């Protein structure tokens, strides 16, 4: 499986999602490619937000070596599955993909926890550390379901 996690800045949520899913896949012995990207280019080349790094580390995951990049329309061709953090990311990915768009490859991450509900992973950018812990736990549970679902046919 090749999976891409997408948010707005590729600085808070999707770096956590990349780190968490890669860690679970590795521990399950799966040779998955996991990456992340942002629909906006504000933070290209930057390491993840210090609170994403801190919360990941408190949970035993090192995301300090990640570098921000922007989502590109070719990503939808390379990856098997793209998970977006919120509905606005979904619309932005669709727009960037243009004629490459493949609806079946793209879903909201929290639909793996709450199927069909189209819930958002809230953006912790404007809040304090607690918001990053809340987001970590949501992503962690969704990624458990992804590993269970796709490891069956890996």
Per the DSSP assignment, residues forming a β-bridge with 70 are 38
Specify the length of the chain in residues. 154
97 is catalytic: no
11 part of the interface to ligand 4NP, by CB under 6 A:
yes
CB 6 within 8 A of CB 38: yes
- Which residue, 9 or 77, has its beta carbon nearer to ligand 4NP? 9
Q: How far is the CB of 40 from ligand 4NP (least distance, A)?
A: 7
Range in contact with ligand 4NP (rule: CB under 6 A) among 11-19, 75-83, 100-108, 139-147: 11-19
Binder among 42, 80, 95, 102 for ligand 4NP (CB under 6 A): 42
CB 110 within 8 A of CB 96: no
26 is catalytic: no
19 part of the interface to ligand 4NP, by CB under 6 A:
no
Range in contact with ligand 4NP (rule: CB under 6 A) among 2-10, 75-83, 92-100, 144-152: 2-10
What is the 3-class SS of 58-119, one letter each residue? HCCCCCCCCCCCECCCCHHHHCCEEEECCHHHHHHHHHHHHHHCCHHHEEEHHHHCCCCCCC
Residues catalogued as catalytic: 7, 13, 123
Contact footprint for ligand 4NP (CB under 6 A):
7-13, 42, 123, 125
């Amino acid at each position: 499986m090749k999976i891409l996690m997408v948010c707005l800045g590729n600085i808070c949520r999707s770096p956590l999602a990349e780190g968490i899913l890669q860690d679970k896949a590795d521990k399950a012995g799966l040779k998955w490619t996991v990456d992340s990207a942002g629909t906006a280019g504000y933070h290209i080349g930057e390491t993840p937000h210090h609170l994403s790094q801190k919360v990941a580390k408190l949970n035993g995951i090192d995301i300090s070596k990640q570098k921000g990049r922007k989502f590109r329309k070719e990503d939808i061709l390379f990856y098997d599955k793209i998970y977006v953090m919120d509905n606005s990311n979904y619309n932005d990915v669709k727009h960037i993909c243009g004629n490459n768009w493949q609806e079946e490859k793209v879903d909201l991450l929290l639909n793996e926890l709450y199927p069909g509900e189209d819930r958002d992973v809230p953006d912790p950018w404007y809040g304090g550390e607690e918001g990053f812990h809340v987001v970590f736990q949501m992503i962690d549970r969704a990624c458990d379901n992804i590993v269970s679902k796709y490891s069956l046919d890996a």
